[in-house]
Amino acid sequence: MPTLVMKFGGTSVANLDRIRRAAKRIGVEVAKGYDVIVIVSAMAGKTNELVGWVDEISPLYDAREYDAVVSSGENVTAGLMALTLQEMDVPARSWQGWQVPLLTNGAHSSARIQEIPIANLNRKFEQGMKVAVVAGFQGLSPEGRITTLGRGGSDTTAVAFAAAFGAERCDIYTDVDGVYTADPRICSKARKLDRISFEEMLELASLGAKVLQTRSVELAMRYKVKLRVLSSFEEQSDTAGTLVVDEEEIMESNVVSGVAHSRDEAKMTAVSVADRPGIAAIIFTALSDAGVNVDMIVQNISDEGRTDMTFSCPTDQVGRAEKALLAVKDSGALNFSELVADTDVCKVSVVGIGMRSQSGVAAKMFKVLSDEGINIKVITTSEIKISVLVDRKYMELAVQALHDAFELERVA
């Protein structure tokens, strides 16, 4: 039998009605002849309740106990989903992580999947089970304790199962109906993409389009798992959602596939640091040790042996970054005249695998922004992405102007 993996997030299983709705979708795939592996999240809100309790007991908790507690929400959903399917005469059973087993390393709360032996599930499929409902987000450590995979870990669970079982496809049911050329809330012309490449999806995921966890896309790309993102609240159809596939499976595409934005960015500049080898390492090691997620980095041209070092990070990490850099300054390892934080910026990016073969995208992007009177503060590029920091008040304008200029409302 061909295998299909279907993953339902927290809002898709938030109550018994939604579980029933999801079960009906599963039933449709079973009727088509698939052996189905269903990955479920905890009912919406449940994991936050558990995390809240742990945080209240202990700010510096034992991650092994944290994992044992917070993984329980998925177990509940798995059992309830199996019961709902049985009620519809679909032979189903629930599997907790340790029962599969989904083997991980011992890095509690952010464990990495090491292996998913397929024998246990396959034996049950051979005995007539049609649906294995697997509790997402959790695994078993080498010490026999429960691990969790970190936030969004159920997406990763789903892709890992699809890879292990050679599934025909991995359908991620969520509360949005696919991946868009831009956020429809700020760009009315945004269009749902039928297909997108793994590489583009990765850039979009890391740019703040929170449809899929970055890690799950990486895993899907590595194991060539065909991913589909679709809404559990829309009518079912074979062309619903967005397929995330290998680049070769996308016949023709726009040069630019989408415009992404990220609102809560801050730009920080250490003014007049010594321009000599090792200084950048000192700065970014200190920031990394302090848990600051540095995104863009720009170093200005040197002037009399001094330079300015500029970087961006999430707005809520500015305080931490300042503290870390002032500490390094106090230690004498680093000197700067001033630390300037601009917390009123945002990041706007254009993404597209077409950029690899077509030049002039950057020039066009800068001209579009310039024509709108938007000043660019920082620029970074990758092979398939160009990102700029601009004042936050221009965010909507920038996204809309770029969407128009690259004609993203038109199907390629």
- Residue of 50, 282, 294, 397 interacting with a second copy (CB under 8 A): 50
- Does 57 sit near a second copy (CB under 8 A)? yes
CA angle 222, 228, 234 (to 5 degrees): 165
CB 370 within 8 A of CB 295: no
Stretch that binds a second copy, among 58-66, 218-226, 296-304, 381-389 (CB under 8 A): 58-66
Beta bridge partner(s), residue 152: none
Stretch that binds a second copy, among 73-81, 147-155, 220-228, 329-337 (CB under 8 A): 73-81
- Does 359 sit near a second copy (CB under 8 A)? no
For a second copy, the closer of residues 131 and 227 by Cβ is 131
Peptide bond into 277 cis (omega under 30): no
- Residue of 3, 11, 41, 84 interacting with a second copy (CB under 8 A): 84
- Does 329 sit near a second copy (CB under 8 A)? no
- Residue of 7, 18, 93, 392 interacting with a second copy (CB under 8 A): 93
Q: What residues between 6 and 35 interact with a second copy by CB under 8 A?
A: 16, 19
CB of 343 to a second copy, least distance (A): 35
Question: For residue 192, what are the CA distances in angstroms to 128, 183, 352, 391?
Answer: 38, 10, 15, 27
CB of 40 to a second copy, least distance (A): 12
- Does 78 sit near a second copy (CB under 8 A)? yes
Burial class (CB within 10 angstroms; exposed 0-12, middle 13-18, buried 19+) of 322: middle
Task: Using the Cα atoms of residue 250, residue 252, residue 256 and residue 260 in order, give the sign of their dihedral.
Answer: negative
| Separation of alpha carbons 157 and 148, rounded Å | 10
Residue 253, token pair as written in the block: 């595409």
- Does 62 sit near a second copy (CB under 8 A)? yes
CA angle 96, 99, 100 (to 5 degrees): 95
The position carrying tokens 């039998």 is 1
The binding site for substrate consists of 47, 74
**Contact residues: a second copy, CB under 8 A:** 16, 19, 50, 53-54, 56-58, 61-62, 64-66, 68-69, 72-73, 75-76, 78-80, 82-84, 86-87, 93-94, 96, 98-99, 144-146
